[in-house]
Amino acid sequence: MQPTNSNLIRWAGIAAMLAGAIFVGIQPIHPADALASVTTSLWAVITPLKTAMCMLFLLGITGLYARQAARAGWLGLAGFLMLTLSWALQLTFIFAEAFILPVLAPVAPTFVESFFSILNGSTSQIALGALPALYTLVGIMYIFGGLVFGIATLRARVMPRWAAGLLVVAAAITPAAALIPHPLNRVLAVPTGIAFVCLGYALWSERRANTTMPVSGSVMSPLS
């Protein structure tokens, strides 16, 4: 006997729960996105945690999509691709925050401050090439990915509809972050985190009859 892919999908629910919990938990304690924060001990803890969070989001979103792919259709696929692109790009920025900026801070403070200008929406002191455009793409994919994936999840009726609806609402209110000063706009991340905690728990706690399959014999689709 060997585990089926459905078991792996269920365990991806734990990744979604952890990612959502970290996303909520770091908001009130996140250090300021400023040069002075980069060399602090809190920065050294939070940013690697955020890096792991992005990876967990990618695993969790993949599991959520795989569980309902047959019923979510092209709308679900589109939402999945947008959300994963958003978090994959976000991972590169957060990796830089965690492991590159602390090294550059003493020798290239102007670059570090310019990097933070992307996050804060302020004017950069130096040209950063395609980085501002990529960060804008992160936000666009985050909003539309959440909307489309949430709607597809609602329509699929596999995951709890109220949790999918919360994801839709969380994505819809995200543009309001432009009207709220940074870092106060971090509060808008909380509904998204809660939505993924709930969806992840629903995915993990599912009990299906066919959790294993024989090594030999007929093979069923992991999404059947």
A 10 A CB-CB count for 221 gives 8
pLDDT reported for residue 217: 42
Q: Is residue 223 part of a domain?
A: no
**Per-residue confidence (pLDDT) for residue 224, from 0 to 100:** 37
What are the helix (H) ranges across 26-160?
A: 41-99, 101-104, 109-120, 131-156
Cβ proximity of 139 and 182 under 8 Å: no
Q: What does the pLDDT read at residue 207?
A: 57
Q: Is residue 87 part of a domain?
A: yes
**What pTM, to 2 d.p., does this model score?**
0.87
Task: Say if 89 falls within a structural domain.
Answer: yes
User: What pLDDT, on a 0 to 100 scale, did the predictor assign at position 125?
Assistant: 80
Residues 6+ positions from 123 with CB-CB distance below 8 Å: 117
Residue 220 placed within a domain: no
In-domain check, residue 82: yes
Q: How many domains does the chain have?
A: 1
Whether 214 is covered by a domain: the verdict is no
For every one of its 224 residues, what pLDDT tens digit does the chain have, with 9 covering 90 and above? Answer: 344 577 788 889 999 999 999 999 999 999 999 999 999 999 999 999 999 999 999 999 999 999 999 999 999 999 999 999 999 999 999 999 999 999 999 999 999 999 999 888 777 788 888 999 999 999 999 999 999 999 999 999 999 999 999 999 999 999 998 788 877 888 999 999 999 999 999 999 875 434 443 444 443 434 43
pLDDT at position 4: 59
Q: Of 1, 157, 158, 168, which Cα lies nearest the Cα of 79? A: 168
For tokens 């709308």, name the residue: 75
Q: Which amino acid is at 18?
A: L
Name the 3-class secondary structure at 189.
helix
Residue 112 lies in a domain: yes
Q: Which domain holds residue 46?
A: 2-208
Is the residue at 216 inside a domain?
no
Q: State both tokens at 129.
A: 């090439």
- Whether the CB-CB separation of 205 and 35 falls below 8 Å is answered with no
The whole-number pLDDT of residue 84 equals 97
